[in-house]
């Protein structure tokens, strides 16, 4: 997994990641420019207006035109960033792909694991009930529900096909977590009592990281999962392998080996 991280932004494996990266670069570039500009101004002011013999401080303000123009210019450029970059990207990220085209999956966070629930080949999530939750059934999935028969539940491994939109329905069993897929440029807080959808589309296959980006307790640091992006045939084979004979107890799929 080390190869995906280095200096700068993590590897981008998402089709919409480049837009997010552009925004990050433009914002940081602009902030560096402002920082350096203010720093130069501060140093000039410190030297020019230092205490010297024969110079008297005055409280009368001198009005210059240039600072006003610069301030207005900065505000206009910030408005351009907001309207030209941030809003379109936010709209793209918040607009879910059509349900028929996307793979839908539930991710239920808990201290300190990601429970993952696939609807199986029928595309319908089986009912889950809090009363059925236990160590062997962390999602409380009701296996008597016909829609649940082919459902797949796994822990800490999210298998998805490459080049297909994936809608993740996020919820939490206990505290606030944050679902973070660095290579997909996805980070969304997971709030107890709410179901929050996010989506992404992988452009590259690989074994990536799921991190929790919210300090959620003492075991927060070990709340890590794997995002396994596969070719559609491999994903179908995985699904077919685990869907039909899945017992009520999870996990059912062998944990992938970490590639550090």
Q: Which residues bind Cu ion (CB under 5 A)?
A: 177, 212, 216, 223
Bridge-partner residues for 168, per DSSP?
A: 105, 198
Using DSSP, state whether 161 is helix, strand or coil: strand
Residues 21/182, Cβ–Cβ less than 8 Å:
no
Estimate to the nearest angstrom the gap between the alpha carbon of 181 and the chain centroid: 5
For Cu ion, give the closer residue by CB, 113 or 154: 113
For the record, the structure tokens of 25 come out as: 């670069």
Q: How far is the CB of 217 from Cu ion (least distance, A)?
A: 7
For Cu ion, give the closer residue by CB, 212 or 229: 212
For Cu ion, give the closer residue by CB, 103 or 154: 154
Calpha distance 103→17 (Å, rounded): 19
Calpha distance 221→228 (Å, rounded): 20
For Cu ion, give the closer residue by CB, 108 or 216: 216
User: What are the backbone angles phi and psi of residue 157, rounded to the nearest 5°?
Assistant: -145, 120
What burial class does residue 151 get, using C-beta atoms within 10 Å of its C-beta: 0-12 exposed, 13-18 middle, 19+ buried?
buried
Q: How far is the CB of 232 from Cu ion (least distance, A)?
A: 30
State the CB neighbour count (10 A cutoff) for residue 36.
Answer: 10
Q: How far is the CB of 68 from Cu ion (least distance, A)?
A: 48
Calpha distance 131→145 (Å, rounded): 15
Q: How far is the CB of 105 from Cu ion (least distance, A)?
A: 18
Residues 170/188, Cβ–Cβ less than 8 Å:
yes
Residues in the chain: 260
For Cu ion, give the closer residue by CB, 173 or 177: 177
Question: Computed from CA positions of residues 124, 231, 246, 129, in that sequence, does the dihedral angle turn out positive or negative?
Answer: negative
Residues 200/14, Cβ–Cβ less than 8 Å:
yes
For Cu ion, give the closer residue by CB, 13 or 216: 216
For Cu ion, give the closer residue by CB, 116 or 216: 216
């Amino acid at each position: 997994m080390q190869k995906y991280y280095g200096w700068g932004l993590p590897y981008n494996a998402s089709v919409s990641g480049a837009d997010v990266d552009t925004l990050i670069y433009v914002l940081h570039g602009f902030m560096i420019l402002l920082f350096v500009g203010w720093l130069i101004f501060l140093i000039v002011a410190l030297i020019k207006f230092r205490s010297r013999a024969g110079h008297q401080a005055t409280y009368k303000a001198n009005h210059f035109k240039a600072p006003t123009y610069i301030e207005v210019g900065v505000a206009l450029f910030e408005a351009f960033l907001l309207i030209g970059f941030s809003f379109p990207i936010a709209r793209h990220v918040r607009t879910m792909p059509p349900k028929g085209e996307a793979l839908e999956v539930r991710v239920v966070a808990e201290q300190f694991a990601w429970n993952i629930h696939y609807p199986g080949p029928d595309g319908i999530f089986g009912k889950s009930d809090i009363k059925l939750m236990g160590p062997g059934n962390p999602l409380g999935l009701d296996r008597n529900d016909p829609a649940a028969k082919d459902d797949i539940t796994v822990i800490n491994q999210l298998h998805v096909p490459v080049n297909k939109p994936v809608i993740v329905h996020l919820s939490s069993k206990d505290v606030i977590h944050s679902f973070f897929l660095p290579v997909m440029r996805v980070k969304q807080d997971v709030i107890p009592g709410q179901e929050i959808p996010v989506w992404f589309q992988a452009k590259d296959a690989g074994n990536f990281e799921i991190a929790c980006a919210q300090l959620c307790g003492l075991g927060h640091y070990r709340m890590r999962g794997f995002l396994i992006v596969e070719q559609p045939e491999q994903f179908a084979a995985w699904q077919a392998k685990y869907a039909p004979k899945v017992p009520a107890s999870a996990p059912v799929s062998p944990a992938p080996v970490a590639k550090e």
